[in-house]
Structures are given as C-alpha cells and as structure tokens.
Structure 1
Amino acid sequence: MKIVLLDGYALNHDLDWQQLDQLGELDHYDRTAVNNNEEILQRIGQAEIVLTHKTPLNDRVISQAPRLRYIGIMGTGYDVVDIQSADRNHVAVTNVPTYATDAVAQFTFALLLEVASQVGLHNRLVHEDKWLCVPNFTFWERPLFELQGKTLGLIGYGHIAKKVAELGHAFAMKVIFYNHRPKKDHPSWAGQVDLDELLTRSDVISLHTIQTPDTVNLIDRSSLKKMKKSAILLNTARGKLVNETDLAKALNRGDIYAFATDVVGTEPISADNPLLKAKNCYITPHIAWAPFETRKRLLDITVSNLTNYLAGKPSNLVHFYK
C-alpha cells in the first residue's frame, strides 16, 4: 500500500516517521507547493493514502487521484480538504481533534499575560541597560494590569475554549462564552451569552471557533465597534476569522486596546499585512501547537487513525466511505 505524506517538515523537526513506514510504502515530502495542483497530483500518483498538514486537497486533486481512498489531516481544522469532493469520490477523511488542547490554551494565556505584564518588553529593556539608568528601584514602559475581575469572553466553546475558560477562572476572571450551537453542559461560573453581549461586555475576547464561510471576517468593523476601547482581542484559532484591515485601523485609532495573535490570514505573513504596522499588536508565527509533546501526540494519533481505518474501525472521522 502506498502512503504519501505531503508536508512533514513543520511537524518533524525531531520526530521519527518509523511508525508510518511500518504501515506501507511511505513517500515523505517536507513541503509541497500549496497552489500547484499538478505537483500535488504528481506526488500522490497511485497512492491510496494521503497525509496532509497544510497542503490543500481541492476537488480537482481529489477527483483526479485515481486510487485515493483515505486522507489523514495532521491537525484539527479540516478546511484544507474539500469535504464535499471527498463525499462524491468516496474518500474517507480523518483529523486529529484534541491533540493540542493544553498547548493552545497555554499559549492563549501566554499571549494574554504578555499584554498584561509586558515581560518580553521589560526583559529586553533590562538587557539594553535601561534599568541601569533609572534613579529608582523600578520602572515600566507600558501599562501593567491584573486579570483578576476582568471579563473573559470566549467565541466558540470546544475543547480548547473550555481549557482557556478553566485558566481564566483560576485567574479569578469572570468567564462568558458564545457558541453558535448553545451548550447545555457548562460550569455554573461560565455564563452563556449571545455574540453581541459578549462583544460589549468582555475585557478580553478570545477566538476559538473553526473557519467556515460563516466565520470568515467574524471580527470586522461592525463587531470591533461593539467592543470596549480597553478590550484585548486574542486569536489562536484561524487568521481569516479576523478582517485584518479593519482590525489594524481599529488598533491605530485606539478603538480597542490590543490584539495578540498566533495566526494570520496568509501564512507565512505577507510583507504588506496591515497588522505589522498596527499599534499594540503582538504576532507570533503559528507556534501554539509546536511543543514537542504536542507534536508527538499529533503524530501518534495520525498513525492511530490510519491503523484503525485499515483495520475497518475508523476513528476521528470527518467523513467516511467504505
């Protein structure tokens, strides 16, 4: 059986692909051009199994791959695969839905704490000898504030958001959330509200919803106007949830206080991304998922998904055809 892994580089700085080698004949590519259907099809060839991290598999690719029967997405989001095409072409699709829950929740709070406590800035200033030159025992260059008592609003309430809610509660924050499908089971300390109420009440707004046609540009000029001028917006979900032009303008006008994100609409970030020149904007290069333990878990579940599919007991299905 032929297995093709289209883009293993980001995952495999320090992991071993031997588990996949044992399941079939593995062709492993570090990178595949994301906008080159011909290259993608050439690499898939006669393979029955394709594993992808960020390389998109659109209808043209899926419909023209003659023996393709299984797509394993090495991640949670499945927007990289045309699920309707997989349906039409009888291709099973799996993902890895919960591998990064703890890591992404941890990173969400790392972003928030950076805005609140400015550790990175003041570490740099101390190493630049700024502390040597002040007359007092202390100094700070930007406002610092406590999280206790602030309202944390979560847009989306899946596994990661629930973990972020627990962290917020531990910091004595007031937690509210909005989910497009109301949730019946949630802690008494987490209040379920509609989106407008969340936008207007929250001191911190954190995005944890998937990218769909309905959620692209969820945060735009209209929603930004509803937020407090002191609001902090966090994004560890998908870059396209945010209209970056509208957000940059809002930051530069002081309509909201800060934006901290691990994702942008086009990755790697483009030189003309307006957020690069926006005030009080913190950007990291999509690393919330990248701790060693997290990536090892991702690989293990990817292998488990494929093993279970081959055994006729598929797991973590996005879509399935026998």
Structure 2
Amino acid sequence: MRGVFLDTLTMKLEELDASGLEQSLDQWDLYETTTPQQTAARIADADVVITNKVVLDRALIENAPNLKLICVCATGTNNIDLDAAAEKNIPVKNVTGYTGSSLAQHTIALLLALATRWHLYSEDVRKGEWSQSPIFCRLDHPVMELAGKKLGIIGYGDLGQKVAGLGEALGMEVLLAESFTGEQKAGRTPLPQLLAETDVISLHCPLTQETDKLVDSAFLDAMKPGAFLINTARGGLVDEAALAAALRSGHLGGAALDVLSVEPPPADHPLLAGDIPNLIITPHNAWISRESRQRLLDGVVENIRSWGKSG
C-alpha cells in the first residue's frame, strides 16, 4: 500500500513523532507543498492520500484509479469533492477535537489584546514614549475590564464550549446563540438579542451555506456600539469589506481575526490596509501548538489504521 501526503509543511513534521505515520503503510511519499498542477501526477498511483488544504476535485478523484482512502489532515473537508469520493466508494476521513486547548487559548489571547491594548502599549515602550512620559504610566489607549461584560458565543461545539469556560473564568457572562440547524435548545439566545446585548462576539461555527458571510453589514450594524468581534473559525463567515467599514466608522470597538477568506491573503486584501483602527490579524495559527499538531497527526494515523482493519 502506497500513501501520499501532499502538504506536510502545514504540519512541520520534524517537530512531531511521525513514527505512527511511517508504520501505517508500506510506503510513503511526503511532499512539503503541492501545486494544483502537480496533484494529479502525485496521487496517480496512491492508495491513500493525505491532504490538509490541497484540493481534490472530481477530476482528480476520478483519475486516481488506486485511490481507496482520503484523509484530511484538518477538520474541514470543503477542499474535497465529497460526492465524487462517495460515488467511487472512497471514504473521506477528517480529524476533530485536536485544536481545543490551543485554539481556545489563542481566542482568549486575542480578546485580552483587544481589551487591554497591551500590544499597543508594548510598542509605545519600544518607541521610547514611556521614557518621555511626564507621569509614571501611559494612558493613551482605552482599556476594557472584561469582568461583568457579556460574551456572545456563536457555535457551541467543543471549541465554543472551551472559550465559554475561559470567558466565565474572567468573570464574563456568557450568552449562547441559537443553533443554525433549526434545533431549539434551552438556554440559547436569539441572534438579534445576542448582537444587541453582548460586549464581545466570538465565532466558532462551521462555514456552511447558512453561515457564509454571516457577519455582514446588517449583522455588524446590529452589534452593540463599541463591541469586539473575534473570529478564529473560518474566514468566510465574515464579509471583510463590511468589517473594514464598521471599524473605520468607529461602530465597533475592535476586531481580532485568525482567519481570512483567502489564505494566504493577497497584498490588496481589504483588511490589510493600514488605516483600519483596532484590528488584530494573526496568520491562521491558533491551532499550531506542537501538542495540537501531534493530536492531529495521531488522528490521521488512527483513521488509516481503523480503515485498514475494516477493510
């Protein structure tokens, strides 16, 4: 059995214990990156393909005669033509639950940065502004005390639950948005009420037809003036031009994003303009702790092993 891993650079395998992967099949071809033009040739003879973000569309799947299993080295499977795979009886296995502590930690770090502006004060110190201060401290950037504020969680799976718990530890009141599946659950808050009442909204829902550009102009206008928006879920949840406008207008108090709709973003991306106030962007690295990546790799290996046993 021959396996191909198309984008190992997303995992930095040299930092991980990859012995389980090496032992899971007879032969592995490991590629740091794979372009669309290279994909067909690389999977042509593969029995098992692992991909993180490399797209496997219908044409690629139909023209890989030996392909028996697709492992997505991530939770999302939107880069795979699931219908084409199902028609050829090729299982598509993803990994869930691996990012929990790492992503929740990053989400709260973004929240604390928005609330305390510590990154701005640190930069002021580097620029020598504290040394020139006429008093012992600096009060240039407004600080929000989070205790007693309301944190709105949209998407209450494992990640949303962890962030909610950390918010409560900071003394925040947590409100949970109603589900987009239509299933009514006790203790949930209708979205219009959540937008109007919460001081911070954190997105943890999947990107679906129902949630695509969920955060649009109407959503942002309905948010409490001065509130924060945090997105560590999927970039497509946010209408990025609308977010830029809401920040420039001062309606929002700030936003912190770990994901964008296009990654890596083009230089002319609407949120990379230098004139947008109170915006923090990190490069999709909320999940990248070594522990998180090891859990992910172990999950891929377990998917391969369980598939092998079932075959």
TM-score under structure 2 normalisation? 0.94
Paired with 2:145 and 2:169, the residues of 1 have a C-alpha distance of: 13
What's 1:287 paired with? Answer: 285
Paired with 2:60 and 2:68, the residues of 1 have a C-alpha distance of: 13
Counterpart mapping for 1:99-138 below 5 A: 99-138=98-137
What's 2:256 paired with? Answer: 260
- How far 1:16 sits from its partner (Å)? 4.2
Paired with 1:183 and 1:124, the residues of 2 have a C-alpha distance of: 46
Is contact 1:230-1:257 (8 Å) kept?
yes
Counterpart mapping for 1:1-322 below 5 A: 1-12=1-12, 13-24=14-25, 25-33=27-35, 36=36, 38-178=37-177, 179-181=179-181, 182=183, 184=185, 191-277=187-273, 278-312=276-310
Is contact 2:180-2:210 (8 Å) kept?
no
Which shifted more, 233-242 or 72-81? 72-81
Deviations 1:255-299 (A, max 9, x none): 211110001011112111111122211100011011111111111
Is contact 1:211-1:240 (8 Å) kept?
yes
Provide the identity percentage. 40
Deviations 1:152-207 (A, max 9, x none): 1111111000001111111111111122244658xxxxx41122222222110111
Aligned partner letter, 1:296? Q
- How far 1:126 sits from its partner (Å)? 1.4
Paired with 2:245 and 2:190, the residues of 1 have a C-alpha distance of: 26
- Indicate the SS of the match to 1:26: strand
Is contact 2:44-2:63 (8 Å) kept?
no
Paired with 2:230 and 2:149, the residues of 1 have a C-alpha distance of: 15
Is contact 1:7-1:53 (8 Å) kept?
yes
Is contact 2:71-2:92 (8 Å) kept?
yes
Paired with 1:214 and 1:4, the residues of 2 have a C-alpha distance of: 34
Is contact 1:79-1:211 (8 Å) kept?
no
Unaligned runs of 5+ in 1: 186-190, 313-321
- Indicate the SS of the match to 2:303: helix
Change (3 A) 1:183 1:100: farther
Deviations 1:197-248 (A, max 9, x none): 2222211011101112221111111111111121100000010110111111
